[in-house]
Amino acid sequence: MFDIGIGEILIVAVIGLLVFGPERLPRAAADAAKWLKQIKVMASGARQDLADSAGLDLSETLDSVKSLQEFHPRRLAANLLNDDPAPPAASSPATPPATRPAFDPDAT
């Protein structure tokens, strides 16, 4: 969900240690975790309330959105430019591996 690495977590921990001190830091972290849980519960409740009031079935809506992924421009281009109608079977030593064509920035 969040794109946070170990470096960012360490920086936040050091800043929290400096701001709250070693005595209050565990209690502050527990309070922050409770708030995040409450926010997550409230957001899912609000989403469900909106779906109920609009008369939508979220599973059907998500399925229809996922079905639109086949129309992503990269997937469409790959399907249009693909010469082989079926994916190749196990590679044999007689056929050379497929190579990508060279990219020409001046041609675009």
For residue 58, give the nearest of 70, 69, 45, 71 by alpha carbon: 45
Residue 91 maps to a domain: no
> Which pair of tokens denotes residue 65?
């959105």
Structural domain for 23, as ranges: 1-79
Model pTM score: 0.43
The total number of structural domains in the chain stands at 1
Residue 27 maps to a domain: yes
Cβ atoms of residues 93 and 99 within 8 Å: no
The pLDDT of residue 34 = 96
Residue 108 maps to a domain: no
Taking only the tens place, the pLDDT of each residue in 62-83 is: 788 888 888 888 888 887 877 6
Residue 30 maps to a domain: yes
